């Protein structure tokens, strides 16, 4: 199954770099490349589009607004916002409604070419994905604003949610943390309980858990 991708960025260097990275993969096809947000919305209207990669700040229309318009017209299109700014206002605006199939990634993280490919594949599956720098900040907020004896989340819980919020799947998390499937299931069950998440399918639970953790940690640092 081929994934159709739109790239919108006002930097010709970035547009070319993303296209070259994605086109190394047989399952990813760059269908449209444009240089501003309004052009992205207009181009998306005429094609079947799986993923839109949008710079957060562009001429004529910003990436967040362009993503909303694309998603309104095509609810199945996943949105990847690429930004130089770790701004919670942008992030919360992005995931305020229908957060599944959305990602907020910092540009510096895409120096690892494999990360862009991974994010595109995972966001198309419906996961919500935050950059590792952002997730580390959320964990830092939690640890800084809660006393050790009052914390609901242990280090094991935080290790799991760090990878969960980056869009990794259960099988990957267990392997990366070198823990058993039983231990992983217990940590996830604890997280669902603490965050009052109704466990459903893996994707639905991942989205709900990640968004709940985001709101809780940002509120702690307010």
What CATH code is carried by the domain that includes residue 49?
3.40.50.2300
* The last residue of a domain, from among 98, 130, 162: 130
- Specify whether 30 is located in the same domain as 45: yes
Task: Give the model's pLDDT for residue 202.
Answer: 82
Q: pLDDT tens-digit profile of 45-75? A: 988 999 999 999 999 999 999 999 999 999 9
127 burial via Cβ count (<10 Å: 0-12, 13-18, 19+): buried
Task: Give the model's pLDDT for residue 112.
Answer: 85
- Specify whether 125 is located in the same domain as 177: no
Q: What is the pTM of this model?
A: 0.95
Task: Give the model's pLDDT for residue 75.
Answer: 93
Task: Give the model's pLDDT for residue 42.
Answer: 95
Long-range contacts of the stretch 186-189 (C-beta < 8 A, 24+): 187/156, 187/157, 187/160, 188/160, 188/164
| 144 sits in which H/E element | helix 132-145
Task: Give the model's pLDDT for residue 168.
Answer: 95
- Specify whether 89 is located in the same domain as 159: no
115 burial via Cβ count (<10 Å: 0-12, 13-18, 19+): middle
- Specify whether 95 is located in the same domain as 174: no
* The last residue of a domain, from among 77, 99, 130: 130
* The last residue of a domain, from among 69, 102, 130: 130
Start-to-end Cα distance in the chain: 43
- Specify whether 141 is located in the same domain as 202: yes
Q: How many domains does the chain have?
A: 2
Q: Which CATH number do you get for residue 210?
A: 1.10.10.10
State the residue range of the domain holding 176: 133-220
Give the chain's residues under pLDDT 70. 200, 222
- Specify whether 126 is located in the same domain as 137: no
């Amino acid at each position: 199954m081929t994934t159709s991708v739109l790239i919108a960025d006002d930097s010709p260097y970035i547009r070319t770099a993303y296209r070259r990275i994605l086109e190394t993969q047989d399952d990813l096809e760059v269908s449209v490349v444009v240089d501003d947000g309004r052009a992205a919305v207009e181009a998306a209207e005429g094609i079947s589009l799986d993923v839109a990669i949008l710079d957060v700040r562009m001429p004529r229309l910003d990436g967040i607004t362009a993503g909303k318009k694309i998603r309104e017209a095509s609810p199945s299109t996943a949105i990847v916002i690429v930004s130089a700014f770790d701004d919670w206002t942008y992030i919360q605006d992005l995931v305020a409604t229908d957060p599944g199939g959305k990602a907020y990634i910092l540009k510096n993280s895409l120096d690892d070419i494999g990360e862009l490919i991974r994010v595109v594949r995972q966001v198309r599956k419906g996961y919500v994905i935050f950059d590792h720098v952002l997730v580390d900040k959320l964990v830092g907020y939690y640890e800084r604003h809660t006393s050790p004896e009052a914390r609901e989340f242990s280090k094991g819980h935080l290790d799991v949610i760090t990878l969960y919020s980056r869009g990794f799947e259960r099988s990957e998390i267990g392997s990366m943390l070198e823990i058993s499937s039983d231990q992983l299931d217990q940590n996830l069950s604890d997280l669902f309980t603490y965050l009052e998440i109704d466990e459903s399918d893996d994707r639905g639970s991942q989205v709900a858990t990640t968004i709940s953790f985001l709101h809780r940690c940002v509120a702690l640092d307010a």
